[in-house]
Amino acid sequence: MALKPTGLPPQAALDALGEPELLELVRTQPLPEHVAIIMDGNGRWATRRGFPRVAGHREGVKTARAIFRAADTLGLRYLTLYAFSTENWTRPEDEVSTLMSLLERAIHEELPELMSRNARLRVLGRPNGVPAGIRRGLDHVVRETRNNTGLNILMAFNYGGRDELIDAFRALARRVQAGELKPEEISEEHIGRALYTADIPDPDLLIRTSGEMRVSNFLLWQIAYTELWITPTLWPDFGPAHFYRAVAEFQGRTRRFGGV
Ligand code: FPP
């Protein structure tokens, strides 16, 4: 890592850097192409302050916007945000409905900035089961931004990693049934191309906030060789400096992809 020699261990040297220095530092090294984030801790952030959980989600939307800008400033190609899982429907009804309206409004309000930054929105997840209003809103922004060539924002919405694999295996089974493909021909490429992320490279780095040490059914196939970076910081407290720090630590790691 191209840190100036300070005599400090690398972590402590990074601790001494603020957002502009971290940004400058990560720009001197090869960037990850795809960063995925499990945005966790909104509820705890609110509860610790004596606010209702939805206040945390409201702050969480602001963080998502700040990280979109940071990823664009950095020149990343792909940023995946885990916005709503298939399991999240089991939360209390008022939390789910507030979350839906927050996400709907955020997507609508973000369109001008997506356009001005030449960013493209795509959605990963099952369209069935998504409320009609939010589905229309998402489809609209996806359509409007489809020719943009800058940062790709992949919003995992009504997403489940196992559901994604089930959908892929069903699609492949249909091709086998139709005689287009033999079972013994099925390769990693066939499975990869049957996923929601068909033409998208696997994440290089997966960030999870709020300290939980789990993958939570996120991009199960795609993260086989992804570097994990977990911070105790809750999502509403996460900012561009944390994001650049994660990228800086990623740049200091050696990826072996199962080799030596
Ligand atoms: C985790 O907090 C967050 C979610 C359930 C997803 C919602 C995310 C946002 C509102 C951020 C905005 C996203 C976009 C793409 C605009 P939690 O409720 O699981 O927190 P807890 O673990 O502390 O309960």
Q: Is 40 a catalytic residue?
A: yes
Lowest mean pLDDT among 5-14, 34-43, 82-91: 5-14
**Please, are residues 223 and 2 in contact by the beta-carbon 8 Å criterion?**
no
**Please, are residues 207 and 38 in contact by the beta-carbon 8 Å criterion?**
yes
Pocket of ligand 1 contains residue 57 by CB under 6 Å: yes
Report the pLDDT value the prediction gives residue 257, as an integer from 0 to 100: 81
**Phi, psi torsion values for 80, nearest 5 degrees:** -105, 130
Confidence bin at 4 (pLDDT 50/70/90): low
The one catalytic residue in 42, 88, 202, 204 is 88
Q: Which atom of ligand 1 is nearest to the CA of 65?
A: 16
Q: Give me the domains of the chain, ranges plus CATH numbers.
A: 11-251 (3.40.1180.10)
Pocket of ligand 1 contains residue 61 by CB under 6 Å: yes
Residue with tokens 């609209």: 140
Tokens of 11: 């972590």
pLDDT in tens, 128-172: 989 998 999 999 999 999 999 999 999 999 999 999 999 999 999
Report the pLDDT value the prediction gives residue 256, as an integer from 0 to 100: 80
Q: pTM for the whole thing?
A: 0.95
Amino acid at 195: L
What is the distance in A from the centroid of ligand 1 to the CA of 41?
A: 7
**Please, are residues 152 and 200 in contact by the beta-carbon 8 Å criterion?**
yes
Q: What span, in angstroms and rounded, lies between the C-alpha atoms of 145 and 120?
A: 5
Pocket of ligand 1 contains residue 209 by CB under 6 Å: no
pLDDT in tens, 72-114: 999 999 999 999 999 999 999 999 999 999 999 999 999 999 9
What is the distance in A from the centroid of ligand 1 to the CA of 8?
A: 36
Report the pLDDT value the prediction gives residue 1, as an integer from 0 to 100: 47
Confidence bin at 7 (pLDDT 50/70/90): low
Pocket of ligand 1 contains residue 155 by CB under 6 Å: yes
What is the distance in A from the centroid of ligand 1 to the CA of 83?
A: 6
Pocket of ligand 1 contains residue 236 by CB under 6 Å: no
The one catalytic residue in 40, 42, 72, 152 is 40
DSSP 74-116: HT-SEEEEEEEEGGGGGS-HHHHHHHHHHHHHHHHHHHHHHHH
3 state DSSP class of 166: helix
**Phi, psi torsion values for 155, nearest 5 degrees:** -100, 115
3 state DSSP class of 202: coil
H helices present in 117-239, as ranges:
132-144, 161-177, 188-193
Residues 6+ away with beta carbon under 8 Å from 113? 65, 68, 119
Q: Which atom of ligand 1 is nearest to the CA of 81?
A: 15
3 state DSSP class of 131: coil
**Please, are residues 148 and 115 in contact by the beta-carbon 8 Å criterion?**
yes
Q: Give the CA distances from residue 1 to residues 17, 217, 241, in Å, rounded to whole numbers and listed in that order.
A: 14, 32, 17
